[in-house]
Amino acid sequence: MSIEASELRRVMGHFVTGVAVVAARTREGRLCGLTANAVTSLSLDPPLVLVCVDLSADSHACIREAGAFSLNVLASDQERLARRFSSWDLEDKFAGVAHHSRVTGAPVLDDALAWADCRVWAVYPGGDHTIYVGQVEAGDAREGTPLLYYRGGYGRFVP
């Protein structure tokens, strides 16, 4: 017998993660994005990252259709942005959010602590999520501290 979903969420909630916004632009120009903490660097050669996206997320199909996404690591003062992109009922998550595009056309958040612009390299099923592996085409980072997620809440790293 497997662990119940609520218990798995409680147990895994004890693992501290960073917080990122995963964003894409469809061929028609529609922007989509979501807050994610199931992200990681995967490979240096080729340069790969992965993001896990809930099948029911409003951005799921958008990322698949776009064939590219940006991974935007949030800074400790960007909790409001994390909450904005985690909203399921906000029509235009990008309204008033400064962004630009680099290589793939995916929206890169101007104030992100770090970002990676990625082409979808592979797609895998992952239970109630899809695992998108992206080949990093461009990226950058600035000085600052990351926004963290722990046991259902946001926090900050204190060195």
Secondary-structure percent of the chain, ordered helix, strand, coil, rounded to 5: 15, 50, 40
Whether the pTM exceeds 0.85: the reply is yes
DSSP lists the bridge partners of residue 36 as: 20
pLDDT computed for residue 89 by the predictor:
83
Q: Is the pLDDT of residue 33 over 90?
A: yes
Vertex 107 angle, CA 29 and 75, to 5°: 155
CB contact at 8 A, 52 and 36? yes
Helix (H/G/I), strand (E/B), else coil: 106:
coil
For all residues of the chain together, what is the average pLDDT?
95
Superfamily name and number for 15-140 = Electron Transport, Fmn-binding Protein; Chain A (2.30.110.10)
pLDDT computed for residue 12 by the predictor:
84
DSSP lists the bridge partners of residue 122 as: 133
| Separation of alpha carbons 30 and 124, rounded Å | 24
> What b/e string do you get for 121-130 counting C-beta neighbours within 10 Å, with b at 16 or more?
beeeeeeebb
Please, which pLDDT band fits residue 58 given cuts at 50, 70 and 90? Answer: confident
Residue 22, token pair as written in the block: 């995963």
Please, which pLDDT band fits residue 158 given cuts at 50, 70 and 90? Answer: confident
- pLDDT tens-place string over residues 81-140: 999 999 988 889 999 999 999 999 999 999 999 999 999 999 999 999 999 999 999 999
Q: Is the pLDDT of residue 141 over 80?
A: yes
Q: Is the pLDDT of residue 65 over 80?
A: yes
pLDDT computed for residue 15 by the predictor:
84
CA 75 to chain centre: 13
| Separation of alpha carbons 145 and 36, rounded Å | 17
Residue 28 identity? E
Q: Which residue has the higher pLDDT, 36 or 89?
A: 36
